[in-house]
Amino acid sequence: MPAKIQVLFDHSDFIVVNKPPHLAVQNEESQEGILPIICKQLNVEKLWLVHRLDKVTSGILILAKTAKSAALFGDLFEQKQIEKYYLALSDRKPKKKQGTIKGGMKKVRDGKWILDISTTQFAATQFFSFSVAPSLRLYLVKPLTGKTHQIRVALKSLSAPILGDELYGGQSSDRTYLHAFVIRFMYQGSPISITCPPLEGEYFTHQKTETLLESHQQPWLLNWPKPAISPLRQS
C-alpha cells in the first residue's frame, strides 16, 4: 500500500481518490480501511462513502465531505446519473468480444454470486474488449447497475474470469485485474469527468496495455448500445 492515497480531484463538497488494490473501504480486523486512512491523511474528522469498490478493485472512489453532499450523490446514483467505466484483464477466451451481459444476481456459497434468468437483483453490464497479447484481453466495462461483484460475475459468465480473481476461477496473479477507470457526472450544474489509469499490476502497466488505454481516455465516445432493462441474460 502506498504511503499516501492519491487524491485525483478535490472539491469543496467531495474528494475523489485512487483506491489501491487489496485495501478495503472500511476497517477490517487485520487491516485499516481507506476511509480512516484518508481522514487521517487529510486531517478531517469524517468523510462519507457514497459508493463502494471491492477490496480487490483499485481506482476511482468518491468520498463526500458533508452529509448533504452524500445525500446528493445518493440521489445521483439512484437516478443513474453517474457513468462509470472499468478496466479488466482476462487470459481466457471469451464467448463474445463485446456486447451486454444481463441477468439476476443470485448469492451462492463461499461469498460468490452467479447470474441466472430471474429479474431478482437484476444486473446489466456492457463491454468492449481488445487484444493485448495472444492470450490476454483488455475489457472496457460499463456497468448499468451497481450490484455486488457485478463485473466479476459478468466476465465469469463469458468464460473469461478476471486475471487474479481466484474466487471466480481466474488464474493466480500479482493482483486482481479490475480497476475503476473513468467516472462522469453533473454536480450542481458542473460537468465532472475524471480518468484514472491503473498504477499497479504487471499487466496493467505493460506498454501494450498502456498504449490501448491512451486511445480510450474518453470511453463514453465508443458506440455503446442503448441501455435496455430486460431479463434476457445476454445480447
Is residue 121 within 8 A of residue 149, CB to CB? The reply is no
The grid coordinates of residue 32 equal 485499516
Q: 234: which DSSP letter?
A: B
Q: 220: which DSSP letter?
A: G
Going by C-alpha positions, the residue among 142, 18, 8 that lies closest to residue 80 is 142
Going by C-alpha positions, the residue among 27, 51, 28 that lies closest to residue 39 is 27
Task: Say whether 75 is catalytic.
Answer: no
- Beta-sheet pairing, 178-187 with 58-64: parallel
Selecting among 54, 91, 165, 174, the annotated active-site residue is 54
| Helix ranges restricted to H, 112-161 | 150-157
What residue type is 28 in one-letter code?
A: E
- CA–CA separation, 52 and 77 (whole Å): 12
Catalytic residues: 54
